[in-house]
Amino acid sequence: MNGSTGAVSGCGTRGKETKQPERGSGVGTAPPGWSHCSLLELGSLPTAVACGRGHVRNVLQEWGLGHLIEDAALIASELLTNAIGASEVLPHKPPIVLRLLAGDEQLIVEVWDQSPLKLRRFGPDAEAECGRGLMVIEALCNRWGVVRINDLYKAVWAELLA
């Protein structure tokens, strides 16, 4: 991370700064074998959601994964919204990160935030305006999860089968 907002960079392993996730899980550092990888750093602002959604649409179109665009964009929106909310507890409003990993069989949509808080899953009441994001993600994806990738970042990820 270079501290700027909206920076796109290539992906790869980051050496000693990250813990190694389960091989092939698609979270944390990009293990060898991903044919495509995109990383976008965003400010933890409400506008990040629309920026991230647009990034997903453009990147997946470029990668020839147009059939996954709608589900992936919705998943990214929900994950980014959660990351922005989680970042509200931090006084310096650190950046959040959207990463896309694609291989022959799967697409991983991953959002990193710096909040020390654990992801809480709860069922909203019938009239609540929010609280359904993880239910939406669960309905759209093959699997999802949360992992702390280093002392600074946690990643919430969702897998779509390609």
79 or 22, higher pLDDT: 79
Single out the residue of 139, 152, 75 nearest to residue 108, CA to CA: 75
What integer pLDDT is reported at residue 121 of this predicted model? Answer: 56
What angle, 0 to 180 degrees and rounded to 10, lies between the N-to-C axes of helices 69-87 and 47-62? 150
Looking at the whole model, is its pTM more than 0.85? Answer: no
pLDDT in tens, 92-118: 889 999 999 999 999 999 999 998 877
What integer pLDDT is reported at residue 149 of this predicted model? Answer: 87
- The structural domains of the chain, with segments of one domain joined by +, span 8-14+21-161
Amino acid type, 106: Q
Task: Tell me the CATH number of domain 8-14+21-161, given options 3.40.50.720, 3.30.565.10, 1.10.1670.40, 3.40.50.2300.
Answer: 3.30.565.10
Report which DSSP code applies to 66. Answer: G
pLDDT in tens, 12-41: 543 333 334 444 555 554 555 789 999 999
What integer pLDDT is reported at residue 136 of this predicted model? Answer: 84
How far apart (Å, rounded) are the C-alpha atoms in residues 71 and 47? 20
Segment holding 130, helix H or strand E: none
Contact predicate 118/89, CB 8 Å:
no
